[in-house]
Amino acid sequence: MDLQALLDDLARESAPFAAQGRVADYIPALAAVDPSRFGIALATMDGQVLGSGVWRAPFSVQSVSKAFALALVLARDGEALWRRVGREPSGNPFNSLVQLEYEKGIPRNPFINAGALVLVDRLLSLTGDSVGALRAFLREESGNAAVDVDAEVATSEAAHGHRNAALAHFMASCGNLENPVEAVLDHYFRQCSLAMSCGDLARAGLFLANHGLRADGSRLLTRSEAKRINAVMLTCGTYDAAGDFAYRVGLPGKSGVGGGILAVLPERGVLCVWSPALDAHGNSVAGVEALDRFTTRTGWSVF
Amino acid sequence: MDLQALLDDLARESAPFAAQGRVADYIPALAAVDPSRFGIALATMDGQVLGSGVWRAPFSVQSVSKAFALALVLARDGEALWRRVGREPSGNPFNSLVQLEYEKGIPRNPFINAGALVLVDRLLSLTGDSVGALRAFLREESGNAAVDVDAEVATSEAAHGHRNAALAHFMASCGNLENPVEAVLDHYFRQCSLAMSCGDLARAGLFLANHGLRADGSRLLTRSEAKRINAVMLTCGTYDAAGDFAYRVGLPGKSGVGGGILAVLPERGVLCVWSPALDAHGNSVAGVEALDRFTTRTGWSVF
Amino acid sequence: MDLQALLDDLARESAPFAAQGRVADYIPALAAVDPSRFGIALATMDGQVLGSGVWRAPFSVQSVSKAFALALVLARDGEALWRRVGREPSGNPFNSLVQLEYEKGIPRNPFINAGALVLVDRLLSLTGDSVGALRAFLREESGNAAVDVDAEVATSEAAHGHRNAALAHFMASCGNLENPVEAVLDHYFRQCSLAMSCGDLARAGLFLANHGLRADGSRLLTRSEAKRINAVMLTCGTYDAAGDFAYRVGLPGKSGVGGGILAVLPERGVLCVWSPALDAHGNSVAGVEALDRFTTRTGWSVF
Amino acid sequence: MDLQALLDDLARESAPFAAQGRVADYIPALAAVDPSRFGIALATMDGQVLGSGVWRAPFSVQSVSKAFALALVLARDGEALWRRVGREPSGNPFNSLVQLEYEKGIPRNPFINAGALVLVDRLLSLTGDSVGALRAFLREESGNAAVDVDAEVATSEAAHGHRNAALAHFMASCGNLENPVEAVLDHYFRQCSLAMSCGDLARAGLFLANHGLRADGSRLLTRSEAKRINAVMLTCGTYDAAGDFAYRVGLPGKSGVGGGILAVLPERGVLCVWSPALDAHGNSVAGVEALDRFTTRTGWSVF
């Protein structure tokens, strides 16, 4: 299979679907992104990275970062993590307070905002610098020492972060935060504001396709833990459209409102696609389209 | 009718019901209150104030303050107030985020915590000092210039206020707060921490029985507005037990977790009862009992 | 006060408000009613009945019947009734399954459809003929032996009754029905299809203003029970707009989707108004308007 | 790998976990099943069927039948099916009315009871005999012409079917049923009461592992459709524990309250396990345990 030709085809065919979506506009820094940008990259197990479109351009990773935060916490805490956060699909929009109240402050999974705040809180306790630990990991795995927080985006997130503050205060009222609300929110907003390219993200995610082994051959996760993160991504990784994503794409994936989606091809590699225009569920329209076409043509879904 | 004898009877008969309840313990300052304290006072239209038990002892008014805050805002904003808060019973526990999210940041009524935060926010905009304006009003109406905030209680409220912070941040995210979250919370916690006696409160509430006329004869509210606050108190004034309170007592009433309840006898006067032990809904057990007995014996329910 | 002149004024002023509403159209038999019809009647304690508009024309009483069913069951079962149904406002639209599931099959109050089904079930157990017992009572109190079920409406209700069937089956699954679902539904649909005029209903409801005494002077309810039904009407009688109704009108009231509203003036009499066009909550637009004007002009609200 | 030895090991090791669960007792016919029964069977792509324990004993398939019903409807209706039922995880217990009301009568996925009723309704419209069409299919694929409905179980289901009747009536009220409620319920209860062994089910499900090809080589589903049913099974197949099942087992699976679980190994085969004692979510305790051990030892999860 000529993978480079395939990526080029997907970029050409999928990019126009962006016209059906809308760029996230809850903060000015995201609203200003050009909706016609499209990038796709594939990192394979043998270390190769192919790409098409603007696959080397950094964008705001937003919730894609949560997959990496989960890996870092699971690597340290193991199964104990699940006492503070569930791993069931939410069946509700991604920032819902309703479910959090119903579940008495235990977020339903680590990828809804409340759950991601718990990951940040825990990584902060474990490392003393949650976003710093994550950035160091991403730099090493991607091989790009320039990976960093976009300060303008982080400031903008904080200025529009009342809903996340509500989630954090509510969990604090339930006793499910270890650190001060303000510190957790600060690290969370900065984590979401990390800027990376499709190529960076695809490379950084390879440990998920490679049974938990990092780029340098050391082990981050057991084989079983890596598999389990993929399971959580498949069932919970794309907000309230996880069922639809599994149905159409059939791969573990994690999306962000910056328009990026990371998808894992177990034992083959990692795909990352970026197109800023989102559908009603907050997933990149052209990104999902490209992944759908990819698995249809290659047959490389997990099912 | 010998009202003094009646109040003495009610005090003697009702006080023991406190044994069926529990003192609020979410903050140490409230948890320390002696559960056997019981006071009841009746202020009548002709200026008389009768009482029994510890009716001159100040206690933490907590949510009873919300009835007065509603009056002050309605007097200034009139019907425009209802664009920012509803007036329907909540059908849910009093600090529920669920309903607030479902209603997109418009609290269901002014007496649930979220609605009271909107009142504080509005009174802050209107006066520049929400708790100050309320305190001045209560001092004048009660004739007690010593009415003030209990600073220890206010500090304790703020230290345990994550759930109210969650409500405030959520409303801010919906665009339903005019002032900074921190300022609104500060005034709210101090308002709840006002300390007043049964006698103070009964006197201060007389305008609600007197068609909106204040102690000095000036008009705070129109006849219709005074009637309408009573309606909101009857349908929404006792948390998720408003139906039960209407059924048993049959008077407009506003309760607080400090154990106080203010009840309005239209065109007759105002009753205030205090007993710190609460039922599962957050209302004073002995207080509701005393009011139930009062209306049964006098026939002075509104129905 | 010239009450006849007042009723005439209210009819003339309020009837045009029907243009702001919509006639119930879930069954053809109701959809066919002329929306311009308007009637209002006042029955006073001394036996007088005044009216204006088409106050002698029968209409479909629908949920207004629930106030009478509650009285008949409470008269027989007393407080034991409240083990099977609550008395709190619902905080949700009137046919909601959500709340019923949350409350494990115990309807929140006797006036939402689920609660009314429990009343029918209980009256069926107590009398062997629920709708028959209710009809006999209404004939006696109204003095109109022609009060009867409109068979066409009843058939139409049954044919469009899937949602009520869902409620009944759900309660049966929770063990909160004593009779077969089909029998309960049959009596319920026929009860809702009773046809009565404003004059009939006002006369029939007088026991609620008269401390529980029937037209013949015999006692149906204790003084306390009559008061308590009024309390339930005020807090729960007008679907999800009970707070608004209390705020504007300030009287215990029970509405129906046929466009009728029964309102109790304790110790004075009973008002009944009919205008078929409904607001978004299912209450008669012109009917609420007329009641609002009535209490504003007379000052006869309970507050 | 010696698969027969593996199955024997799993049977021996997993069967004791049944002690942690409880046999379904909502109908007497299920409550009477011996909780110590355990069977496991593996059908492979080359036509081989291995088993251990009581893998040839028929049991009540219950909701496992829904995977087959989905296949038959999807084969006929294609994507049009999704206008009447969603494909997102439910995030709520499997028979919830709450979500159905929130979604206005469109069940969230085809495996919750409401969604399965829609499948039955549609298959009834398409074939004139829903349960007959399904039985014929299962007989052909399993090669066992004795596969049939257990009439005693079906009668028992119908007698305790109020909750399913509530769901069906509610959907009828929303216009989402094509056939009479009674007919849909009758076919549904009989479908759930089909009795099959682990060996029967494993063989019958092979088309899901074999890209949609039936036992006789004919095509039931396109490659893409087969993949998509597996995706729906993984995200929605095990009630409110789909995330946990994906996490532990990592295979598409469909469980039933009879204690059976069908799991698909794409391109390899189908596993079926049976142990009647259920966990709190309604899934077989020993069954999930056996599948967890199977994928851990073989590495044959999809992730």
- Gyration radius of chain B's alpha carbons: 18
pLDDT of residue B225: 95
Alpha-helical segments (H) within chain C: 3-14, 28-31, 65-77, 97-102, 113-127, 130-142, 151-159, 162-173, 181-192, 198-204, 206-209, 223-236, 242-248, 285-298
CB B157 within 8 A of CB B170: no
Q: What is the ipTM of this complex?
A: 0.91
Q: Which two tokens stand for residue B126?
A: 């209107």
- Does the pLDDT value for residue D150 go beyond 60? yes
Distance CA D197, CA D203 (A): 10
Q: Residue B101: which of A97, A173, A181 has the nearest Cβ? A: A97
pLDDT of residue C102: 75
Inter-chain touch D163–C181, beta carbons under 8 Å: no
Q: Residue D234: which of A90, A99, A246 has the nearest Cβ? A: A246
- Does the pLDDT value for residue D94 go beyond 60? no
Sort out which chain D residues have CB atoms less than 8 A from A99's CB and list them.
Answer: 91
Inter-chain touch B227–C250, beta carbons under 8 Å: yes
- Does the pLDDT value for residue B111 go beyond 60? yes
Inter-chain touch C243–B86, beta carbons under 8 Å: yes
The Cα of B161 is separated from the nearest Cα of chain A by a number of Å equal to: 8
CB B295 within 8 A of CB B301: yes
Query: Is any Cβ of chain A less than 8 angstroms from the Cβ of D254?
Result: no
Query: Is any Cβ of chain B less than 8 angstroms from the Cβ of C303?
Result: yes
pLDDT of residue A101: 78
Q: What is the DSSP string of C117-155?
A: HHHHHHHHHHHS-HHHHHHHHHHHHHT-TT-EE-HHHHH
pLDDT of residue C172: 96
Provide mean pLDDT across the span D156-181: 95
- Percent of chain C having pLDDT more than 70? 98
Of C98, B79, C126, A175, which Cα lies nearest the Cα of D96? C98
Provide mean pLDDT across the span C118-130: 98
- Does the pLDDT value for residue A98 go beyond 90? no
C131 catalytic? Reply is no
Residue D109 sits at φ, ψ, to 5 deg, of: -155, 170
Tell me the catalytic residues of B: 63, 66, 188, 239, 257
User: Cβ atoms within 10 A of the Cβ of D297, count?
Assistant: 12
Query: Is any Cβ of chain C less than 8 angstroms from the Cβ of D175?
Result: no
Q: Residue A231: which of D224, D246, D264 has the nearest Cβ? A: D246
Of D285, D232, D291, which Cα lies nearest the Cα of D259? D285
A130-162 pLDDT, tens digit per residue, is 999 999 999 999 999 999 999 999 999 999 999
Inter-chain touch D170–C166, beta carbons under 8 Å: yes
pLDDT of residue B100: 83
Provide mean pLDDT across the span D142-165: 96
pLDDT of residue C103: 80
The Cα of B172 is separated from the nearest Cα of chain A by a number of Å equal to: 6
Query: Is any Cβ of chain D less than 8 angstroms from the Cβ of C1?
Result: no
Catalytic residue among A23, A52, A61, A66: A66
Between A256-265, C101-110, C241-250, the lowest mean confidence (pLDDT) is in: C101-110
Give the residue from C169, C178, C181, C182 with the most D CB atoms within 10 Å of its CB, the best one to mutate: C169
Inter-chain touch A101–B98, beta carbons under 8 Å: yes
Secondary element (H or E) of residue B42: strand B39-44
Q: Residue B231: which of C109, C236, C247 has the nearest Cβ? A: C247
Secondary element (H or E) of residue A99: helix A97-102
Confidence of residue A122 (pLDDT cuts 50, 70, 90): very high
Residue carrying structure tokens 């406190």? B18
Confidence of residue C95 (pLDDT cuts 50, 70, 90): low
pLDDT of residue C92: 64
Q: Residue A296: which of D224, D241, D246 has the nearest Cβ? A: D224
pLDDT of residue B4: 98
Inter-chain touch D303–A240, beta carbons under 8 Å: no
Give the residue from D70, D79, D88 with the most A CB atoms within 10 Å of its CB, the best one to mutate: D88
Of A44, A48, A65, which Cα lies nearest the Cα of A268? A44
- Does the pLDDT value for residue B94 go beyond 60? no
Distance CA C278, CA D148 (A): 53
CB B150 within 8 A of CB B29: yes
- Does the pLDDT value for residue B198 go beyond 90? yes
Q: What is the DSSP string of C233-246?
A: HHHHTTGGGHHHHH
CATH number attached to the domain at C3-298: 3.40.710.10
- Does the pLDDT value for residue A231 go beyond 90? yes
D231-290 pLDDT, tens digit per residue, is 999 999 998 899 999 999 999 999 999 999 999 999 999 999 999 999 999 999 999 999
Query: Is any Cβ of chain C less than 8 angstroms from the Cβ of D100?
Result: yes
D221-236 pLDDT, tens digit per residue, is 999 999 999 999 999 9
Distance CA C297, CA C293 (A): 6
C159-194 pLDDT, tens digit per residue, is 999 999 999 999 999 999 999 999 999 999 999 999
Amino acid at D35: P
CB C254 within 8 A of CB C237: yes
- Does the pLDDT value for residue C285 go beyond 80? yes
pLDDT of residue C106: 93
Sort out which chain A residues have CB atoms less than 8 A from B162's CB and list them.
Answer: 169-170, 172-173, 181
Distance CA B261, CA B287 (A): 7
C239 catalytic? Reply is yes
Sort out which chain C residues have CB atoms less than 8 A from B87's CB and list them.
Answer: 243-244, 247
Distance CA B256, CA B191 (A): 12
Inter-chain touch C99–B91, beta carbons under 8 Å: yes
Sort out which chain A residues have CB atoms less than 8 A from D91's CB and list them.
Answer: 88-92, 99, 108
User: Cβ atoms within 10 A of the Cβ of D166, count?
Assistant: 29
- CB contacts under 8 A, A 186-215 vs D, are none
Of B243, B223, B207, B211, which Cα lies nearest the Cα of B88? B243
D36-55 burial, b at 16+ Cβ within 10 Å, e below that, comes to ebbbbbbbbeeeebbbbbbb
Confidence of residue C91 (pLDDT cuts 50, 70, 90): low
CA B266 from chain centre, in angstroms, equals 17
Provide mean pLDDT across the span B54-82: 97
The Cα of B260 is separated from the nearest Cα of chain C by a number of Å equal to: 21
Inter-chain touch C303–B302, beta carbons under 8 Å: yes
Between B156-165, B223-232, D89-98, D194-203, the lowest mean confidence (pLDDT) is in: D89-98
Inter-chain touch A90–D91, beta carbons under 8 Å: yes
Sort out which chain D residues have CB atoms less than 8 A from A234's CB and list them.
Answer: 234-235, 246, 303
Q: Is D224 exposed, middle or buried (0-12, 13-18, 19+ CB in 10 A)?
A: middle
pLDDT of residue A102: 75
pLDDT of residue A73: 98
CB D53 within 8 A of CB D40: yes
Sort out which chain D residues have CB atoms less than 8 A from C96's CB and list them.
Answer: 101
- The residue ranges of every structural domain in chain D are 3-298
Looking at every residue in chain D, the average pLDDT score rounds to 95
Residue carrying structure tokens 């949609």? D212
Distance CA D236, CA B233 (A): 46
Sort out which chain C residues have CB atoms less than 8 A from D169's CB and list them.
Answer: 162-163, 165-166, 169
Between A5-14, A86-95, A272-281, the lowest mean confidence (pLDDT) is in: A86-95
Query: Is any Cβ of chain B less than 8 angstroms from the Cβ of A185?
Result: no
pLDDT of residue A104: 85
Query: Is any Cβ of chain B less than 8 angstroms from the Cβ of C240?
Result: yes
Looking at every residue in chain A, the average pLDDT score rounds to 95
Query: Is any Cβ of chain B less than 8 angstroms from the Cβ of A297?
Result: no
pLDDT of residue D136: 98
Sort out which chain B residues have CB atoms less than 8 A from C91's CB and list them.
Answer: 88-92, 99, 108
Query: Is any Cβ of chain A less than 8 angstroms from the Cβ of B183?
Result: no
What distances in angstroms separate CA A137 from CA A100, A131, A144, D122, one per listed residue?
Answer: 30, 10, 10, 52
Inter-chain touch B236–C228, beta carbons under 8 Å: no
Sort out which chain D residues have CB atoms less than 8 A from C100's CB and list them.
Answer: 97
Provide mean pLDDT across the span C136-152: 98
Distance CA C161, CA C157 (A): 6
Amino acid at A220: L
Quick one: three-class SS letters along B223-285? HHHHHHHHHHHHHHCCHHHHHHHHHHCCCCEEECCCCEEEEEECCCEEEEEECCEECCCCCEH
A188 belongs to an annotated ligand binding site: yes
Confidence of residue A91 (pLDDT cuts 50, 70, 90): low
- Does the pLDDT value for residue B92 go beyond 70? no
